[in-house]
Amino acid sequence: MPYPHPLPELGYSYDALEPHIDARTMEIHHSKHHNAYTTNLNNALKDHGALHGQTAEQLLRGLSSLPEEIRNAVRNNGGGYVNHALFWRILTPGGKSTPAGELASALTASFGSFDALKEKVTAAATGQFGSGWGWLSMDASGKLQVSATANQDSPLSQGSTPILGVDVWEHAYYLKYQNRRPDYLAVFWNVVNWDVVAKNYVAAKGA
Ligand code: MN3
């Protein structure tokens, strides 16, 4: 959606991902953190009417061509805006099965197996020093790739389309898991909605 960018809804209640991701974390993460990225993105764009027709995804894809005075604000807050919107969408209470159809074959072809993909994303996200994200994305040539980015940097700004992302900022897990990022990453897989990830994959292929 174009400006003003609304805070996306979760689509489930704050306690829906218990016991894996606790309600208090979800509430603060969505109503405070994501809300702040949304507000700050809109504030940055306020006086730039020429950009009001663009979605946040479009702004991030064209990051390098944005006016310099707002480029960093869009990188950080636009990134926070779209990264969390994707994150909420690929999560669901109790998780949703395993990848099926096209995504399943693509994961096997690209990584050897579904389990190998999970290991690779976990390793990338564990190894991200400080705040950031772990990703499964499709690059410009249609190849699936696993990566990590710092802060709120989006794969969109690198010419890739994120299909699955996992937030490894401490605010995503500290209340329940404290410093144990690997414990949080282990339970993350229990609440992934593979139906949505598969849809993201098909959409990325068509993009
Ligand atoms: Mn976050």
CATH number at residue 37: 1.10.287.990
Q: Per-residue pLDDT tens for 73-107?
A: 999 999 999 999 999 999 999 877 789 889 999 99
How many angstroms is it from 151 CA to the middle of ligand 1?
A: 9
Q: What is the pTM of this model?
A: 0.96
How many angstroms is it from 34 CA to the middle of ligand 1?
A: 7
How many angstroms is it from 175 CA to the middle of ligand 1?
A: 13
Residue 77's domain comprises: 23-90
How many angstroms is it from 9 CA to the middle of ligand 1?
A: 15
CA distances in angstroms from 153 to 47, 82, 148, 180, listed in the order given: 23, 10, 9, 23
In a domain, 11, yes or no: no
In a domain, 170, yes or no: yes
Q: Per-residue pLDDT tens for 140-169?
A: 999 999 999 999 999 999 999 999 999 999
CA distance 72 to 66: 9
How many angstroms is it from 7 CA to the middle of ligand 1?
A: 14
CATH number at residue 116: 3.55.40.20
Tokens of residue 123, six digits: 């390793």
